[in-house]
A = this chain, B = another copy of it.
Amino acid sequence: MFDIIYSLEMLGVIAFAISGMIAAKSKNMDPVGVFTIGFVTALGGGTLRDLMMDNHPLYWIKHQEQPILILGMAIVFSYWTHASRIKEARIVLPDAIGLGIFTILGAQLALDLGHSWFIASLLGVMTGTFGGALRDTLCNEVPFIFRKDQIYASISFAGCWLYFICQWALESETLALNIGLLFIVVVRLLAVRFDIRLQRDPHQDPQH
């Protein structure tokens, strides 16, 4: 079980770090900025989760290969890629993968520590969304909470409950993990592709 969890965590860290570095690079940040944004995007959600649940040492302190990997990625991104080749739209896929993995792993850890389904779903959503929220706050002028162009936290929340129900009904942790994770990634990509929203903004032009 541990190996699957750890492999997923590593994949989530890489995906979110890439999304953060694309955002930083598209804003023409210097290498320290690229590393900082990559670091907070990849490790921010898990740090918040561990602080909220008093789960020490923090996972990036326990697994120092994760920040070392992010440092290496930041050097490559800063010096070997050209800002002109980085499109901010490329952020969508790594962001969706990171959202799915961290949401489910956050919820899974909370269940392990004995929390209820409801508390675990809140902690899952925080773990999945906080890194991206920090990235958007540091890289964009518009705070993330104002941008209602696509559903985001709602997909994360629904994915948690799908994971809980599958875990309870199928009695297979691994299968339930994968179903919850795939649900979040696929629905998130569909929501971006077809521009699905929770509520239409009456002041906004629908064609816009």
Contacts and interface: CB of A to CB of B under 8 A. Distances in A.
A151 B63 CA distance: 28
Q: Give the size category of A's interface with B.
A: 35 or more
A165 to B, nearest CB: 18
A58 B48 CA distance: 13
A64 B115 CA distance: 10
A145 B68 CA distance: 21
Interface in A43-84: 47, 51-54, 56-58, 61, 64, 67-68, 78
Nearest to A202: B28
B52 A54 contact: no
A61 B201 contact: no
Contacts of A37: 145
